[in-house]
Structure 1
Amino acid sequence: MNRKVVFRLVNDLVMTVLMLIAMAYYITGNMIHEVVGVVVLVLFIVHNFLNRRWYKAILKGKQNVRRILQIGINLLFLVTMVLMMTSAVLISSNLFPFIPINNDMTLRQIHVQTAYWGFIIMAVHIGLSWGMIINSVRRMTGITGTSRIRTITLRILALLIVAYGVHSSFEREIGSKLIIYNPFGNWFNDDSIIRFLIDHLSITGIYICGTHYALKFIQGQERRAVQKI
């Protein structure tokens, strides 16, 4: 398999996991939070460098529904990440303490809420490319044929992940965190980094699966419309 493709997959996987670890601020502490954040920034820059040709081709080619959605989500993700990273540097107390900020409450609100919005948009971003990711993994593992049992098993697994993700989303009040900033936090006393990752990865599963199957439905509708012409 192409080494560049493997490197991209590994880079994106590590960046996704580290973004979730960075969100576990009250578990890891501020120093780890800031160090992980810097690593995420580097990986995000690498991600965009590796996909720099995509930016050059934004206005080229046929603009179908999938492409329009992809452009909108990708640009929104870029803006969200820039806001989150910029506010992070400005409110840093360990790695960049020399930047003078007198009243940083607004910046903290921007940082926290863009982090949660970025978390959701990232999952949708992955969902838009899920078919390509699966095909890359299939080539990497040498899986060429189809299997009804494997397909059913994976779909049941996806359903279980989504079900647990919905439960975790309500339990952790993700919806309210997207619109309301709580400076005192809202964490469980018995929380651990492992449970945090499992819960939030399952929440990403909601948006990855939802986006992937919604896109398949739209593409199916487009093909049927073309066949009728």
Structure 2
Amino acid sequence: MGKIARRTLDIAMAVLTLILMGGNGLFYSALGDLFDGALDSGLIHEILGVVLFILWMVHIFWNRAWIKGVLNGKYNALRTVQTVINAGVIVCVLFLIVSGVMLSNHVFSWLGIESGASFARNAHMLASHWYLVFVSLHIGLHLSMFIKDRVAMGIVAALGAYGIYAFITRGLWKYLTLQQPFFFLDLEHGYLLFALDYIAIMALFAMVMHFVMMAMVKYSR
């Protein structure tokens, strides 16, 4: 498959990740007025979640050669880190789809799952935030493939620096450690700031992984 198709898929997955991080409340806050309260934010969240899962299946299929080679060859530090990160993404995706199905009030409601809601909510919130971290690290592994211009890389680095502030003020560390029992969507300053903060957080982890990978490559020579 061509590079354009692969890059388009990667961008679509990143955008959907950002949108879904807003939870159900994002769609109600951003679009509810346009539909005069008739918009079912939960349904949209579930549909987009299924779409993201399908895109992941396509992504995995296109990169099936990597999966087949996991048990082959020797492992150095860099390959070990890459494997752990990729495995982390896959585990989070699986937890998200399973917990999402358990919590579904629309797309999968026909399954009639009525038990385990408390576990599913905690698992979904925990997996979604660790998913954001692992996906960002995954992007960092391939950042030099996406961004070759020094100015663009500098912009990403600046975003990453702001991401430290966003990570703290948005309280993501609480979600990653389950110290926050429920997801709080703060749209007091609008959706654009919410999106910027989460883009910056993704840039933060991507840049950290990028520099770690560069150091590994340098000192492994």
**TM class by shorter-chain length?**
0.7 to 0.9
Match of 2:93 in 1: 81
CA distance in 2, matches of 1:62, 1:185: 42
Pick from 89, 94, 108: which aligns with 2:121? Answer: 108
1:18-57 Cα offsets, whole Å, 9 max, x none, are 0111111121131221111011011011000100111111
1:203-222 to 2 correspondences below 5 Å: 203-222=201-220
Match of 1:27 in 2: 26
Match of 2:157 in 1: 159
1:58-112 Cα offsets, whole Å, 9 max, x none, are 1223322111111111112111111111110111012111232234011111011
**How far is 1:189 from its partner?**
4.5
Q: Say whether the 8 Å CA contact 1:27–1:192 is kept in structure 2.
A: no
1:196-225 Cα offsets, whole Å, 9 max, x none, are 2211111000111110111101111111xx
Match of 1:178 in 2: 176
The one-letter amino acid paired with 2:3 is: V
**Given the alignment of the two structures, is residue 117 of structure 1 paired with residue 130 of structure 2, yes or no?**
yes
1:111-133 Cα offsets, whole Å, 9 max, x none, are 11100000001101111122233
The number of residues matched between the two structures is: 206
Match of 2:36 in 1: none
**Given the alignment of the two structures, is residue 130 of structure 1 paired with residue 143 of structure 2, yes or no?**
yes
The one-letter amino acid paired with 2:139 is: I
Q: Secondary structure at the match of 1:90?
A: helix
**Given the alignment of the two structures, is residue 8 of structure 1 paired with residue 6 of structure 2, yes or no?**
yes
**Given the alignment of the two structures, is residue 53 of structure 1 paired with residue 53 of structure 2, yes or no?**
no
**How far is 1:181 from its partner?**
5.7
CA distance in 2, matches of 1:161, 1:38: 29
The one-letter amino acid paired with 1:120 is: V
CA distance in 2, matches of 1:181, 1:127: 27
Q: Say whether the 8 Å CA contact 2:166–2:201 is kept in structure 1.
A: yes
The one-letter amino acid paired with 1:83 is: F
Q: Say whether the 8 Å CA contact 2:95–2:127 is kept in structure 1.
A: yes
CA distance in 2, matches of 1:123, 1:179: 18
Q: Secondary structure at the match of 1:205?
A: helix
Percent same amino acid among aligned pairs? 27
Match of 1:145 in 2: none
TM-score by length of structure 2 reads 0.86
**Given the alignment of the two structures, is residue 201 of structure 1 paired with residue 199 of structure 2, yes or no?**
yes
Change (3 A) 1:6 1:189: closer
The one-letter amino acid paired with 1:45 is: M
Change (3 A) 1:45 1:208: same
